Amino acid sequence: MILERFYPREWVDSTYEIDFEGWKEKGIRGVIFDIDNTLTCHDAPDDGRARKLFARLHAMGMKTCLLSNNKEPRVSSFAGQVDSPYIFKAGKPGVKSYNKAMEIMGTGRDNTLFVGDQLFTDIYGANLAGIYGILVKPMNPKEEIQIVVKRYLEAVVLYFYKRRDRIEKNG
């Protein structure tokens, strides 16, 4: 089905409920994160959770990289708060920035995760790049109009994603 190219490998409520220790045990060595509505609300500073998460990841020996379509002032400011390299104006879903993030972290497709909140940029790009993509629910329902429109289209894709999962689980 044509929609499958947009399907996440996993869909969870929050970045902060992902079992990164479990992923490390499975061989994951680097995590690429979107920022807005993935780690914090759109254009908001870190509320402390991202800083704790990144400190935990770094203490485990995992590499991180922020990958955002936002402008440099926003991305560099947040990156400074969580002590992570970053790529701004990333051009997601283009594969080039995902490959650059893996290069920065010294990881490859088989040992990198991507975490983001949008199907048509974040997850589609991760899929194109061959990276395991985890979709998280947006942290703040108030979004710019162009994202609100995309959310309606995402709802259609997620309906079929959930339907496929139900069928696979029920045999």
**Cα separation, 114 vs 109, whole angstroms:** 10
Residues of the chain with pLDDT under 50: none
Domain boundaries, the chain: 2-170
What is the model's pLDDT at position 42?
A: 84
Q: Would you state the torsion angle of the CA atoms of residues 102, 70, 80, 34, taken in this order, to the nearest 10 degrees?
A: -50
Condensed to tens digits (0 to 9), the pLDDT of residues 27-37 reads: 999 999 999 99
CA geometry: angle at 84 spanning 60 and 90, to 5°?
A: 125
CB 88 within 8 A of CB 75: yes
Structure tokens at 52: 């704790």
What is the model's pLDDT at position 156?
A: 81
What is the model's pLDDT at position 147?
A: 72
**Cα separation, 27 vs 115, whole angstroms:** 16
Residues whose CB is less than 8 angstroms from the CB of residue 125 and which lie 6 or more positions away in sequence, other chains included: 92, 93, 94, 95, 97, 98, 114
Condensed to tens digits (0 to 9), the pLDDT of residues 131-154 reads: 999 999 998 766 666 676 777 788
Domain 2-170: give its CATH superfamily. HAD superfamily/HAD-like (3.40.50.1000)
Residue whose tokens read 């309606």: 152
In terms of Cα–Cα distance, which of 60, 53, 44, 106 is closest to 83? 53
What is the model's pLDDT at position 142?
A: 67
What is the model's pLDDT at position 103?
A: 98
Phi, psi of 87 (to 5 degrees): -130, 125
